[in-house]
Amino acid sequence: MIPRYSRPQMTAIWDPQTRFRIWFEIEAHATDALAALGVVPKQAAERIWEADKAAGDFDIARIDAIEAETKHDVIAFLTHVSERTGPEARFLHQGMTSSDVLDTCLAVQLKRAADILIDDLDQLLAVLKRRAEEHKLTPTIGRSHGIHAEPVTFGLKLAQAYAEFARNRTRLIAARDDVATCAISGAVGTFANIDPSVEAHVANKLGLSVEPVSTQVIPRDRHAMFFATLGVIASSIERLATEVRHLQRTEVLEAEEYFSPGQKGSSAMPHKRNPVLTENLTGLARMVRGYVTPALENVALWHERDISHSSVERYIGPDATITLDFALARLTGVMDKLVVYPARMQKNLDRMGGLVHSQRVLLALTQAGVSREDSYRLVQRNAMKVWDSDGELSLLDLLKADAEVTAALPVEEIEAKFDLDYHLKHVDTIFTRVFG
């Protein structure tokens, strides 16, 4: 976790004070449920809440000092709570094990983190929709292999990004719901020393579902799917960021990141305006994806539990969510202020002498009775002349001068195949599919 790439709301979820607050609520709610069962005195359960309210924030330094001696974080925490509460604290943690606290806490934190990320996605989706509508019919060249292919619109590019991030939102909701489970089942998960109703009570209080079989830990396939989903979202961020980076290249320059007054692009070259934000997003996406493999490897724990996953999750829980939160917010800002150059798009579209209309002529020749092989040969031999001229020649002119072509197609019909609007006739259909 680096402050440079962190935002306060997400960072707060992983703050030690927040973590200990969740630990306390798990323990206190469990004690309430035990009191309802008659296992512990009701007055003791009430005293635990009252003492905490009076004491306020936890003493992080004191907990750390206790842990330095005990070498056990949950015991250190419970000892500190005992110091704040008094004799009634002995009723805390009845029949529970450390993983009950740690795993349930992590579920709460990941759920809260997911809620923030879902809100981030909503903000990004709103921007993408607005910009897509703005450029719905702004023609630009579509590229395959980085090479001019056929016309599209810039709005369609943004609609594709919208659809992709909408799918990511659906995935994240499912991953959030899947990881948000509570385990209060005791050593090896058999409920031998604590009633299952305690788990149900804590789950209800914390907005979680009950883990069906927790052994001693919540199964890590849930967490693996959660972090894998974050990795997919990161890849979608990189895909859109890479598109912007390509479009900002000097030779293309169809769109670019907003360059603010006073901004400097290079320490050496005053003319530079670099795609630094989208390059940064590419790097951040790599970091988020880097946390996926450790999460997958955490699934295979020994028997009912071990703690090989613990150190991993202390890293990847905060880092992956904080980094992705920052990246989504940055991407939203980039797309909100993205400078678009429709005139340059049109110039690039026209740059190759009409080659982008070659398929329409090919199809027209086949429909006029020419074999596909001959149709391809006739169009390609003229297209290659245009290509070799770097767009100085016109495909339309060459085709009209080709006797084999005009023998099959009247000149007027050839000219009709060079209509740009033909390629955009189903834009509305696609937009309806994406936006409804």
- Do residues 175 and 229 touch, judged by C-beta distance below 8 A? yes
Active site positions, annotated: 145, 266
Distance of CA 78 to the CA centre of its chain: 37
Q: What angle, rounded to 10 degrees, do the helices at 221-248 and 98-134 form?
A: 30
Burial class of residue 239 (count of CB atoms within 10 Å of its CB; 0-12, 13-18, 19+): middle
- Which three-class secondary structure string do you get for 187-255? HHHCCCCCCHHHHHHHHHHHCCEECCCCCCCCCCHHHHHHHHHHHHHHHHHHHHHHHHHHHHCCCCCCE
Chain length of the chain: 436
CB 135 within 8 A of CB 154: yes
Name the amino acid, one letter, at 349.
L
CB 160 within 8 A of CB 433: no
d(CA 195, CA 192): 8
- Best CA proximity match to 238, nearest among 309, 166, 311, 324: 324
Pairwise CA distance, residues 308 & 86, whole Å: 35
Q: Using alpha carbons only, give the angle 240, 272, 138 rounded to the nearest 5 degrees.
A: 40
Tally Cβ neighbours within 10 Å of residue 418.
16
| Secondary structure tally for the chain: helices H, strands E | 19, 6
Which tokens in the block code for residue 393? 């020649």
Half-sphere exposure at residue 241, Cβ-oriented, CA atoms within 13 angstroms? 26
Q: Which residues contact 291 (CB under 8 A, 6 or more apart)?
A: 227, 230, 231, 315, 316, 319, 320
Using CA atoms, how far apart are residues 414 and 372, in angstroms rounded to an integer?
17
